[in-house]
């Protein structure tokens, strides 16, 4: 597993732990704003994990496809993901 995937995996595992904590906060009827802040924190981690995966994809799969002369499909794929990301 390359370093980018390891980073993404660690971010996702951290997110999972934080989500477990958020669930507990809700069950304990903690203050809504505190829960919301934790949810935003998890969203930030998920965005970082997603960007890490996209970075790895561009540096490997897209790069290889371009070098092999069939990069248009991979580029369209990335544009589609970015389009969803910015919405």
Q: How far apart are CA 73 and CA 46, in angstroms?
A: 26
Residue in the structure block whose two tokens are 């924190």: 41
Which are the contacts of 30, defined by CB distance < 8 A and separation ≥ 6?
A: none
Tell me which residue of 2, 76, 13, 87 sits closest to 49, measured CA to CA.
Answer: 13
pLDDT number for residue 56:
92
Is 3.40.50.1370 the CATH number for 3-86?
Answer: no
Query: Whole-prediction pTM value?
Result: 0.83
User: Domain boundaries in the chain?
Assistant: 3-86
Instruction: Write out pLDDT tens, residues 8-60.
Output: 999 999 999 999 999 999 999 999 999 999 999 999 999 999 999 999 999 99
User: Residue 85: which pLDDT band, with cuts at 50, 70 and 90?
Assistant: confident
Question: 44-79 burial, b if ≥16 CB within 10 A, otherwise e?
Answer: ebbebbeebbbebbeeeebeebeeeeebeebeeeee
């Amino acid at each position: 597993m390359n370093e980018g995937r390891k980073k993404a995996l660690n971010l996702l595992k951290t997110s999972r732990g934080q989500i477990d904590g958020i669930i507990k906060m809700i069950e304990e009827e903690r203050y809504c704003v505190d829960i919301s802040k934790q949810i935003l924190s998890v969203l930030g981690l998920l965005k970082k994990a997603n960007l890490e995966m996209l970075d790895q994809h561009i540096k490997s799969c897209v790069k290889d496809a371009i070098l092999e002369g069939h990069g248009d499909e991979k580029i369209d794929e990335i544009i589609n993901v970015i389009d969803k990301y910015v919405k």
